[in-house]
Structure 1
Amino acid sequence: MSRTVLITGATGTVSTALVDALEGADVRLRALVRDASAADRLRARGAEIVVGDLDDPRTLPPAFDGVRDVWLLTPNGPRSPENSMNALWAARRAGVERVVRLSVVGAAHDAPNRSGRLHALSDRETESCGMRWTILRPHWFMQNLLNEAADVAAAGTFALNMGAARIGMIDARDIAECAARVLTDDPDRHHGRTYTLTGPRSLTFDEVADRMSGALGRPVGYRPVGDEARRGTLLGHGVPAWIVDMLEEYARAYASGWGDFTTDTATDLLGRPPRDVAAFARDHAAAFAGR
């Protein structure tokens, strides 16, 4: 009998890719959304839409009723542990069998960024939730480069406050496909496992620009900037101050060498190497061309 999988964070980058990755699988998809009007793409994929809010536990029981597996993705913010707690409590009360949680790279109580420390709280709660559980800790998303697509299209450069950081970045589609593999495997196979997911190699952003240049057929350059310049750009685009502070903490950690590593975990789960930056750039060539 098909298992019902509840997708939280359903309209976000990874969850949207997860819905795609689960196409054709023997599962029934249910998507938790705050605004049903934003769920047309999910409906088209055959997902049942349930309106609820991880900020408000009173809205959650209908979403979790009859669910066997939960994909738990909470918004990045100071209330992230509360959101995770509300979801885990609703899952326990509904008799959910398994939780697959999206955490962050380097989540730990002594992480050099507040996001990592907040996610460590939720990871620990997940480990003690009484259900089967798996935690995914992905590295820096290649999709973050799409935030720079307009600059690449207009000027052939992108600017980040990462200095000479070397990062084992990963395509969010590969994260989603790893999650789909876990969710469609036997629930016992990945129970109690924490998987750190990276791309195939650790790259500087100069190397990223070189690979983008080859993939796009035109020069692309990387321009390092300071924290204040980057902060001004992000705030100017309406990014909330809390997120800007968090991104600055990550940038400083990466510039110190904190992200210079890769693992074979994605390859092991996928049965193939994860996508590289050149493939990512080719797949998103239209965005980097301003189309």
Structure 2
Amino acid sequence: MSVNGDAARDENDTDEPGWEVDQDDDWALAVIATVGRQLRLRREAVEMRVGDYAAAVGYGEDLVYKIESGKRIPRPEYLDTADEVLNAGGLVAAMKEDVKKVRYPKRVRDLAQMEARAVEIGLYVCHSISGLLQTPDHARAVFESRQPAYSQDEVERMVGARVARQSVFQRDPAPTLSFVLEEAPLRRPLGGTMVWRGQLEHLLEVARLRCVTLQVMPTHREVHPGLDGKIELLKFEDGSAVARCEGAFNGRPVSDTRQLRIAELRYGTIRAQALPPRESLVFIEELLGET
């Protein structure tokens, strides 16, 4: 984006480049309030009015006010442009690191933090493909299908959060990951044929990683313990663990020994009833060949 802005940018576009702050997220509120205050102080230090500054960065005055008052999370490109306009010498752009930590919803950050610490991750997903396995295009199609509809800004924010969680695959040493996916979602051409093919190809690529075991639950299995919904199991280096079963414990994360045994029993039974890993890969390859 040029420092002089884009004359073709319309009124609605000027309000897009930020995210709403979760009012229940105290840490995010504090960080964004500090970033906004620093932006305002630097603008005032160079004696630039809001209107002139908004024109220089190429965004609307309303967005500038919201960011400076800590009501919106600025995007990285906004901070880059502000740094240039305010002659900040990289100090404003450096705040991107602080913003990056709070740009995603708290529940997503909490989950990502647990996954980042886990040495074992087990996931069974009933009605969709696990978020850790979704391509950006597939994730976008998932969020765009929700009703009531999300704004495009919300969609892109959630896609970014979902993709960011997948850094778990790049850890060294990598955790042990196991996934059980239902056959039906694999057959659904969500997002169209090309997005569907890309998702199946990505599953094959991930399934070949040494740290990953991927299995498919055939539709013709009459019954199994996962019919109530998703099951998650996270185990940590210190021997502790966290589990969540949508059909048990009111769907809340649990760490009690007895409750963990129940979750492990359910997940173990599901894995035993699913196709073995090699047969699961063959199944996905055949499905890809049908697209």
Q: Note whether the superposition's TM-score is higher than 0.5.
A: no
TM-score by length of 1: 0.27
Question: Which of these two proteins has the greater Rg computed from alpha carbons?
Answer: 2
Larger % of helix: which? 2
